[in-house]
Structure 1
Amino acid sequence: MRISLDHYRILGVTPQASTPYLEQVYQSLLGWVPHREFSEVALAARRRLLERSFQVLSNPELRTEYDHTLAEGETTLKIENADRIGALVILYSLGEYKAVLELSQPEAEEDDLTRSDRILVRALSHQGIGLAHWQEGNFAEAGDALELAQEELMQAGLFLHLRGELQAYLFKLRPDRVLHLFSTTDEHPGRLSQGLTLLKEMLNERGGIEGNGNDYSGMNREQFLHFIQQIRQYLTASTQEQIFAEEAKRPSLVASFLHAYCLVAIGFAEFRPDYIRRAKGIFIKLRPNQNVYLESSLCSLLLGQIEEALSEIILSKEYDTILHLAPDSDLLGNLCWYCEHCWLEKEVYPHFADLSSKLPSLKAYFAEEQVETYLEELLTKNTSEWVPSSLPRPTIPPPIWKIPLDTTPRPNQRNSPLWKNHPPKFVVARSSLNYC
């Protein structure tokens, strides 16, 4: 058979190379082994091709004749079947991985003596392609190529050590791969399920978001929390809700907190106050570990439970700032403005792929018929399960959906530290959830 190779490429030199330099390169190549797992049969075939090329190029007459052949456009060499594996090894050494894969299809018939070498050179070529993609930042493609290499080795039941190396690469690559898969789902919809599978593997290996297990990615707990924050911007609210609802069952304080945010996002965007009520229940359960009175207060506000909202905000660390957002406005007015412009717009919506470009509107939310119906029923039930008797109880104003809302920008908004557009950050310390 003929292969797209020439004597210069086999030796890795240019047509201008001198004879002494050719001999130096030739001797160096003879002493170099492309990979320790290649058999003596494959290495002998490679040596025969190296020797053949050196004999042609080191002989002035043969070299001149061969140069004329190249000038006429003949850039292939006839390779005997016995030396075919040697040609594949040389192509692999030259970094021509795609050529190796094209010339060594898995179903191709070859001598049993070269079967393991053919599988090895294919796996190494897949690995080379994967590492090249990795270096270029194409993490999804890198993972696919490395998995192909591992799959071929596993099917053959060969080269356990190399399979271990490939698995180590896949573990290390996995965080970047997940991010790349999630960030390109618009162009490649199938990547979402692939990314979710890999994410679930990482969570299980770590024992959850705050777990101490080892996923072999090299990330510590703080880095993994940052990774979770990074992936959120590429996932919809419903997808995140499924992820964090499942993770919260471990149990997980961080997952519970994020699950509540998902419920708030879905509840507000889809006019589903029942979701917001579920979120409030989660925030209530988190109180022993963290001051989340702000979040539960804002949920109460969205549920029309104004007495509870004002009672809870008094106990939050943001109370003084919200109280003085606008000197000429009351606490309820400031709380409404903060809920829409600071919380929903700046801290909730930006972390969901399907909501980040939208602007929340309290007026539209409370004007929705199904919201008003639900809140009327909730008011009729006169539920007070969320408000401990120890909380201060301000004067009860009318139902919020019947109050004309003023959500115009506050005069002091840019002087308030709460106006800063910081995404919510969370860390786990002393078994508690810290939100700042």
Structure 2
Amino acid sequence: MELPIDHFRLLGVSPTTDGETVLRTLQQRLDRAPDQGFTHDTLQARAQLLQASADLLSDEERRHSYERELTAIADTGEGAIAALEIPPSREVGGLLLLMEAGQAQEAFEAASRGLQPPQAPALGSSREADLTLLAGIACQAAATDYRNQRRYEASARTLQQGLQLLQRMGQLPEQRRQLEHQLKTLLPYRVLDLISRDLSALSARQEGIGLLEQLVQQRGGLEGDLDSDFPQAEFQPFFKQIRQFLTVQEQVDLFSRWGDAGSATADFLASFALTAAGFVQRKPERIQAAFQRLKAGGQAGTEVFLACQQLLLGQVDQAQAMFDAGADEALRQWAEEQSDDPLARLCAYCRDWLSREVLPGFRDIEADVDLEAWFADRDVQAYVEQQDRIRGRQTSPSPLASTPAPPATTSEELPAWPDFSFESAPEPDVLHSDDDDDLWDGPRWRLPALRLPEIPAIADLPRWALPAAGATVLVAALGGWLLLRPRPQTVQPLPVQPAEQSTAAAPEPAPEPPAPAFPLTSSDPSETQLQELLEAWLAAKAAVLAGQQPPVALTAVARSSQVTLLQRQEQANRNAGATETVNAKVESFNVRERTPRRIAAEVTLQYSDQRRSTTGAVLSQTASTTLTNTYVFGRDGDRWLLAGFKPS
């Protein structure tokens, strides 16, 4: 037979190695014979082949002649490679050397062929035993090589071929168990490999989804922990990663099946996937299905999510009642900062919920949250009209249309919110009168005569605004799966916090001025004071995430909602055994809005971060980048505190 290898690689030396080094290498190879259980004949054949290569390479005349042959083969330019002709009696020894030279796949394929008729050795012979052992070892080595190259499907196919061969031979039960275990641990990587492929690779992606279901099933469900090789602490980050490669319909199908099988986590995720699909496809019936699924789950703490779904279905009175019942103190405080109008607050939260929690995390969704376009869509209007008829409310206006306009206030007291009204809406101070009947085309709820309240440019709010009474119940039910919520792809900067400064007339600047005192109680703080408050919060947050004592009390510079978010982030890092280093430097600070109770500033930051494990390995990092955010400061009593932020 021919071995696809030359004398240099067989012995393990380079073409520039001198004769003395060749002989030393030969002795080292002979002294390190494999001990996996090969027979004496195979080890003797291995030694003879090594000796033959060393004899040729240490003889100057024979070596020069051989090198000329190798050069001639390379010069043909036809893809020819050097090969060594070995007698059949040394076949297994040659394949063993081929595997040792790093060509495990070739050794496995040759050993497999050698076990097939008509080359198959006699049953029970030493050659059969050695070829079978070599095939098992080479299969495992080849699969490892493919895995290191991130060719996970090739690795799996090699393992499957090796298992079939060993099962047919009925030998090496321990070797078979090792291959089975290696194939099992490869499953998550195969899933990621297949579903991350282009959407046009339908068969590969379907195979990946099938393997994902197999993986979840062998774990005992999303919440299961039956796989000791893939504990829940590792499975959840993996699942969060692969979700990004699944389309919205794939997620709807998967989570609905798992939810119907009894998984509370899957029910929760299915509701969000249905909401995303319904909003993007303008299919309110899918949002209705999402609402029913989430409501049937009976999980405490989901009321604010249900309220958003009801709003999208045009059930505004019910949505406002649900939101009021489910919002905790931090969320109520946030909502009050957005508007004095309850409907505007609900719309602001719904828009934020859709943009931050629902729409990210799907491979085929890239959509802006436009509530105006949603309610103006004919399919949405037709669905709401149909539901009105079902409920016997054909003649009464929809809660959306009957909601009174917010009371007039001075422009100084209102935040600069973007206009959210429709082009055909009446003037701001009139929703409907007897004089504008010509605008109506059908039931009174229809949108040509509807003016939604203006929705504020919202500040950042807690990603999962759970009511205080229900948060523990929901977290207990869903566990760490709340961490699987989709995140925006852009890096979120650190919140801004104003730094307090004395309101007295500033004396001549000292060489080393004292640190500003907090909380900030000035009734009309300057930009400098607000920037100092922001920098104090940034420094405190960086210290907490680094596992250090913050230089200032968190509650002296930020509202409880922001402190809670920071504590959750620090707890998540601690649970993962990670520490985080954050660097955020304020480059510019400009106040854009100012009222007696609310100040908004546009801030440019130089930002970077890095998460490391306990061993010092880098888990994730954000390179230094420039971010522009809007930070909102609210006045609680006589104190100014950071209330939230959002990207500008």
TM-score range, shorter chain: 0.7 to 0.9
Cross-structure match for 1:26: 26
- 8 Å CA contact 1:363–1:405 kept in 2: the answer is no
Cross-structure match for 1:324: 336
Q: CA deviation digits over 1:237-274, x for unaligned, max 9?
A: 11111111121133121111001111112222222222
Distance 1:370 1:197, change over 3 A: same
Whether 1:82 and 2:89 are equivalent positions in the alignment is yes
Cross-structure match for 1:283: 294
What letter matches 1:195 in structure 2?
G
Cross-structure match for 1:423: none
| Higher alpha-carbon deviation: 104-113 or 272-281 | 104-113
Shift of 1:27: 3.2
Cross-structure match for 2:599: none
The structure having more radius of gyration, on CA atoms, is 2
Cross-structure match for 1:417: 461
Looking at structure 1, the residues matched to 130 and 450 of structure 2 have their Cα atoms a distance apart, in angstroms, of 78
Count of residue pairs brought into register by the alignment: 413
Alignment of 1:376-415 (within 5 A): 376-382=385-391, 397=403, 399=445, 401=447, 404=450, 410-411=456-457, 413=458, 415=459
Shift of 1:124: 3.5
2:245 to 234, 241, 248: 234
Greater relative contact order structure (CA < 8 Å, 6+ sep):
1
5+ residue gaps, structure 1, are: 385-392, 421-425
Q: Relative to total residues, which structure has the larger helix share, 1 or 2?
A: 1
Looking at structure 2, the residues matched to 137 and 14 of structure 1 have their Cα atoms a distance apart, in angstroms, of 28
1:70 to 58, 67, 77: 67
- 8 Å CA contact 1:225–1:427 kept in 2: the answer is no
Alignment of 1:265-414 (within 5 A): 265-287=276-298, 289-317=299-327, 319-321=331-333, 323-327=335-339, 330-340=341-351, 342-355=352-365, 357-382=366-391, 397=403, 399=445, 401=447, 404=450, 410-411=456-457, 413=458
What letter matches 1:150 in structure 2?
L
Cross-structure match for 1:217: 229
Q: In structure 1, the residue corresponding to 2:64 is in which secondary structure? A: helix
Looking at structure 2, the residues matched to 395 and 170 of structure 1 have their Cα atoms a distance apart, in angstroms, of 60
Return the TM-score normalized by structure 1.
Answer: 0.82
Shift of 1:293: 0.7
Looking at structure 1, the residues matched to 91 and 255 of structure 2 have their Cα atoms a distance apart, in angstroms, of 54
Shift of 1:408: 7.1
- 8 Å CA contact 2:3–2:95 kept in 1: the answer is no
Alignment of 1:177-196 (within 5 A): 177-186=190-199, 188-196=201-209
Q: In structure 2, the residue corresponding to 1:350 is in which secondary structure? A: coil
Q: CA deviation digits over 1:15-59, x for unaligned, max 9?
A: 45455544443333234344614344433322221232334445x
Shift of 1:347: 1.5
| Higher alpha-carbon deviation: 149-158 or 342-351 | 149-158
Cross-structure match for 1:7: 7
Looking at structure 2, the residues matched to 433 and 160 of structure 1 have their Cα atoms a distance apart, in angstroms, of 40
Whether 1:162 and 2:175 are equivalent positions in the alignment is yes
- 8 Å CA contact 1:123–1:149 kept in 2: the answer is yes
Q: CA deviation digits over 1:192-213, x for unaligned, max 9?
A: 1222222222211221111131
CA RMSD of aligned residues (A): 3.4
Looking at structure 2, the residues matched to 57 and 206 of structure 1 have their Cα atoms a distance apart, in angstroms, of 56
What letter matches 1:239 in structure 2?
E
Looking at structure 2, the residues matched to 175 and 428 of structure 1 have their Cα atoms a distance apart, in angstroms, of 28
Q: Relative to total residues, which structure has the larger strand share, 1 or 2?
A: 2
What letter matches 1:326 in structure 2?
Q
Looking at structure 2, the residues matched to 430 and 331 of structure 1 have their Cα atoms a distance apart, in angstroms, of 31
Q: Percent identity, aligned pairs only?
A: 24
Q: In structure 2, the residue corresponding to 1:260 is in which secondary structure? A: helix
Distance 1:280 1:433, change over 3 A: farther
- 8 Å CA contact 2:252–2:274 kept in 1: the answer is yes
Looking at structure 2, the residues matched to 290 and 154 of structure 1 have their Cα atoms a distance apart, in angstroms, of 52
5+ residue gaps, structure 2, are: 74-81, 394-398, 404-443, 465-471, 484-648
Looking at structure 2, the residues matched to 143 and 81 of structure 1 have their Cα atoms a distance apart, in angstroms, of 31
